[in-house]
Every structure is written in C-alpha cells, then in structure tokens.
C-alpha cells in the first residue's frame, strides 16, 4: 500500500494537509518492510487558504496520506478522490508503524 506523509523535514509528520509543501511517499509491505519512494514538493502559498486540491493531486497514486490536521473541506475533497486521510504526528517511522498496526487490526492484514 502506498502512503504519503506530510513532513517539513523528512523526519517527522508535522504539517497540516492544506499547508503540506513537502510529502514523503512510502510503500508499506509490513512493519519490517517500509520502502521510501520519493519526496514530492507541492506549490503551496503561505498566503492562500484551502489549497488541499494541490496536495490531493500530488498524492493521486497513494491510498492514504498522514498529516497533523485537516479540515472539513479537505475531508470532502479527499473522499471524492478516494483518498484516506489519517491524523497523527511524530517521527515518520513511528507514525508509519502505528498506521500498519491499525490497518492490521482493522483488516487482519495489509
């Protein structure tokens, strides 16, 4: 499963969805096999609100994006794009491991 995380530094999930200038994309096989794919830059302006469409477009090949926060407009747009948004924060490795554990719990497997 392909997952993007919103991170300003490549180490921590620390960005709001609509302000995610950088996204780090991973393929999750299992908790022992998390493969970094690439860093993606999004043209986000600090002065403009509601830029979630740019972020959604940047992660169109991902199933899930993990961010610190997101708003109701983003939730609706993501649903139309079949994109799952998860709120979490902290070191990327820990956030991805928690997400894998959650998916396993809910589905029984990845």
pTM for the full predicted model: 0.92
Fold of the CATH domain 2-107: Nucleotidyltransferase; domain 5 (3.30.420)
Domain assignments of the chain as residue spans, ordered by start: 2-107
pLDDT score of 109: 57
pLDDT score of 94: 95
pLDDT score of 85: 98
**Residue 82 neighbours by CB under 8 Å, 6+ apart:** none
Query: Which is nearest to 83 in space by CA: 103, 66, 106?
Result: 66
Q: What is the pLDDT of residues 32-90, one digit of tens each?
A: 789 999 999 999 988 887 789 999 999 999 999 999 999 999 999 999 999 999 999 99
One-character DSSP codes across 53-75:
HHHHHHTTT-SEEEES---HHHH
């Amino acid at each position: 499963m392909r997952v993007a995380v919103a991170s300003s530094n490549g180490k921590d999930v620390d960005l709001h969805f609509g302000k995610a200038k950088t996204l780090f994309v991973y393929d999750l096989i299992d908790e022992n096999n998390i493969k970094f794919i690439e860093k993606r830059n999004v043209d986000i302006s600090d002065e403009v609100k509601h830029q979630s469409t740019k972020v959604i477009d940047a992660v169109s090949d991902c199933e899930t994006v993990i961010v610190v926060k997101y708003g109701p407009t983003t939730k609706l747009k993501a649903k139309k794009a079949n994109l799952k948004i998860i709120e979490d924060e902290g070191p990327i490795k820990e956030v991805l491991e928690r997400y894998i554990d959650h998916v396993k719990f809910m589905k029984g497997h990845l």
